[in-house]
């Protein structure tokens, strides 16, 4: 079986024979995978397997760390995002990122949501009405509007962790991304917060494509449509989530999902 077999249906992005080195250390080895549109694809595997490195490669976030070299291609809308003429700022509008711990900016809730608009659009296009509509729409989309509409100009850091993570997702939406990357987005939350973010993820996939790294196999089974198992910088298996967990095709996948490894 090809562990990264082509997924039927329209694709959000395609990774082809992609390798990445941090200095002399090769973190990813010839990764090939198709990510379908409007689905949740989870990446699982033991610590250090390369799943977060692969996730960060999808919007070139790894370049922030320096001493990074890549080979291969990552294609979105028919364009290799690794080409020299690609604007990284524009790419990160298209492919947004949510991190392990909520990271709201130390400014108001309102200004967090419009931060991207203020950064990317000329001031003449940012009427008060447009900004207000963007805030209400984005906060409504993440089920946060009713809770914060009376304190929009209060500090974002005063929100609960669950609300902060929802705000970080809302902050992406005014820029109209097509893909949202999530790196263990529930790791800092309690059970109630995890349930809320997972429910939000299920709703967001109707509009966006989600790629999620999670340390929790239970979470991967609950939320994802497709699942990728990685080991030592390689994709071992990529299948519909139910199939990967109930009838893995590779013994290494079976060992991991059945708790014999990792």
The DSSP output letter for 207 is T
pLDDT for the residue 65: 83
pLDDT tens, 136-152? 999 999 999 999 999 99
Averaged pLDDT for residues 97-107: 93
Do residues 58 and 211 make contact, with C-beta atoms less than 8 angstroms apart?
yes
Do residues 147 and 163 make contact, with C-beta atoms less than 8 angstroms apart?
yes
In a domain? residue 1 = no
In a domain? residue 5 = no
Q: How confident is the model at residue 262 (pLDDT cuts 50, 70, 90)?
A: low
pLDDT tens, 17-71? 999 999 999 999 999 999 999 999 999 999 999 999 999 999 999 988 888 999 9
For residue 3, the number of C-alpha atoms closer than 13 Å in the C-beta half-sphere is: 19
In a domain? residue 143 = yes
Number of folded domains that form the chain: 1
Q: How far apart are CA 219 and CA 136, in angstroms?
A: 29
Do residues 131 and 139 make contact, with C-beta atoms less than 8 angstroms apart?
no
In a domain? residue 173 = yes
Q: How confident is the model at residue 9 (pLDDT cuts 50, 70, 90)?
A: confident
φ and ψ of 232, to 5 deg = 50, 45
pTM for the model: 0.93
In a domain? residue 262 = no
Q: How confident is the model at residue 1 (pLDDT cuts 50, 70, 90)?
A: very low
Helices (H), 26-180: 51-57, 88-94, 109-120, 128-141, 145-148, 161-172
Q: How confident is the model at residue 2 (pLDDT cuts 50, 70, 90)?
A: very low
Averaged pLDDT for residues 98-111: 94
pLDDT tens, 174-208? 999 999 999 999 998 999 999 999 999 999 999 99
Number of H helices, E strands in the chain: 10, 10
CATH of the domain at 109: 3.40.50.300
In a domain? residue 2 = no
Domain that holds residue 97: 11-257
In a domain? residue 6 = no
Proportion of the chain above pLDDT 70, given as a percent: 97
């Amino acid at each position: 079986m090809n562990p990264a077999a082509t997924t039927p249906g329209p694709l959000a992005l395609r990774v082809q024979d992609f390798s990445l080195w941090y200095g002399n250390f090769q973190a990813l080895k010839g990764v090939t995978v198709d990510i379908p549109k409007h689905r949740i694809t989870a990446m699982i595997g033991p610590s250090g397997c390369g799943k977060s490195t692969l996730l960060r490669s999808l919007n070139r976030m790894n370049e922030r760390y320096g001493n990074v070299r890549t080979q291969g291609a990552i294609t979105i809308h028919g364009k290799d995002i690794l080409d020299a003429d690609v604007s990284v700022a524009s790419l990160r509008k298209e492919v947004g990122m949510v991190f392990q711990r909520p990271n709201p900016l130390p400014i108001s809730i309102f200004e967090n949501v419009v931060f991207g608009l203020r950064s990317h659009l000329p001031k003449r296009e940012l009427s008060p009405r447009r900004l207000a509509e963007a805030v209400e729409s984005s906060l409504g989309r993440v089920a946060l509007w009713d809770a914060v509409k009376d304190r929009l100009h209060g500090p974002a850091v005063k929100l609960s962790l669950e609300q902060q993570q929802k705000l970080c997702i809302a902050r992406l939406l005014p820029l109209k991304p097509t893909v949202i990357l999530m790196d263990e987005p529930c790791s800092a939350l309690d059970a109630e917060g995890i349930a809320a973010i997972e429910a939000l993820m299920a709703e967001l996939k109707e509009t966006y494509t989600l790629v999620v790294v999670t340390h929790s196999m239970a979470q991967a089974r609950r939320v994802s449509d497709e699942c990728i198992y990685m080991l030592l910088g390689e994709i071992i298996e990529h299948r519909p989530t139910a199939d990967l967990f109930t009838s893995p095709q590779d013994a290494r996948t079976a060992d991991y999902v059945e708790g014999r490894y990792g």
